[in-house]
Amino acid sequence: MHRMAVEPRADWQRKVEALGLHFHTLGGEPYWDESACYTLSKFEVDSIERATYALWEMCLELVQHVIDNRMFGLFLIPPEFEAIVIRSWDEDWPSIYGRFDLAFDGVGPPKLLEFNADTPTGLVEASVAQWHWLKETDERGDQFNSIHDRLLEAWAAAKASDPAPIHFAAIEGNVEDYITVEYLRDTAIQAGIQTAYLNIEAIGYDTARKRFTDPQNRVIQNIFKLYPWEWLTKDTFAQHIPASGTKWIEPPWKMILSCKSILPLLYQLNPDSPFLLPAWFEAPSFGSYVKKPIHAREGANIQVVRNGVAEQETTGAYDTSVCVYQQLASLKEHDGMYPIVGSWVVHGWACGIGIREDGNMITQNTSRFVPHKMSD
Partner 1 sequence: MSRMSREFGLVLLGAGILTAGYFAAPAPEDEMEKIADEQAADRTGHDRTHHRHGMVPLFLFIHSPAYAGNASGRPSAYSPTTRAGGFGSAGRAFAGGGS
93 binds partner 1 (CB under 8 A): no
Torsion of CA 314, 318, 322, 323, to 10 degrees: -30
100 binds partner 1 (CB under 8 A): no
Minimal CA–CA distance to 275: which of 120, 115, 107, 102?
A: 102
Q: Strands 309-313 and 25-26: what pairing? A: unpaired
Closest to partner 1 by CB, 162 vs 284, is 162
How far apart, in whole angstroms, are the C-alpha atoms of residue 126 and residue 151? 13
111 binds partner 1 (CB under 8 A): no
Question: How many residues in the shown chain lie near partner 1 by CB under 8 A?
Answer: 98
Q: How far is the CB of 70 from partner 1 (least distance, A)?
A: 25
Q: Which of 39, 109, 137, 149 binds partner 1 (CB under 8 A)?
A: 149
Q: How far is the CB of 90 from partner 1 (least distance, A)?
A: 25
Cis omega (within 30 of 0) for bond into 17 = no
Q: Are 104 and 267 in contact (CB under 8 A)?
A: no
* Stretch of residues binding partner 1 (CB under 8 A), selected from 65-73, 83-91, 265-273, 310-318: 310-318
Binding to partner 1 (CB under 8 A): which residues in 40-79?
45, 49
Closest to partner 1 by CB, 269 vs 319, is 319
Closest to partner 1 by CB, 9 vs 22, is 22
Q: Which of 8, 105, 137, 231 binds partner 1 (CB under 8 A)?
A: 231
Q: Are 24 and 120 in contact (CB under 8 A)?
A: no
Q: Strands 211-213 and 289-293: what pairing? A: unpaired
198 binds partner 1 (CB under 8 A): yes
Q: Which of 4, 25, 160, 161 binds partner 1 (CB under 8 A)?
A: 25
226 binds partner 1 (CB under 8 A): yes
Binding to partner 1 (CB under 8 A): which residues in 125-144?
128, 131, 135, 142-144
Q: How far is the CB of 93 from partner 1 (least distance, A)?
A: 19
Let me know if 103 is exposed, middle or buried by CB neighbors in 10 A (0-12, 13-18, 19+).
Answer: buried
236 binds partner 1 (CB under 8 A): yes
Q: Are 334 and 344 in contact (CB under 8 A)?
A: no
How far apart, in whole angstroms, are the C-alpha atoms of residue 59 and residue 257? 7
How far apart, in whole angstroms, are the C-alpha atoms of residue 105 and residue 37? 15
Closest to partner 1 by CB, 67 vs 171, is 171
Q: What is the side-by-side strand order in the sheet with 97-103?
A: 111-116, 97-103, 338-346, 349-358, 368-370
194 binds partner 1 (CB under 8 A): yes
298 binds partner 1 (CB under 8 A): yes
Report the chain's terminal Cα–Cα distance, integer Å: 12
Within 8 A by CB and 6+ apart from 139, the residues are: none
Closest to partner 1 by CB, 327 vs 367, is 367
243 binds partner 1 (CB under 8 A): no
Within 8 A by CB and 6+ apart from 268, the residues are: none
Q: How far is the CB of 42 from partner 1 (least distance, A)?
A: 8
Closest to partner 1 by CB, 119 vs 327, is 119
Q: What angle do CA 176, 182, 185 make, to 5 degrees?
A: 145
Q: How far is the CB of 243 from partner 1 (least distance, A)?
A: 15
* Stretch of residues binding partner 1 (CB under 8 A), selected from 1-9, 67-75, 111-119, 279-287: 111-119
Closest to partner 1 by CB, 207 vs 285, is 207
Q: How far is the CB of 228 from partner 1 (least distance, A)?
A: 5
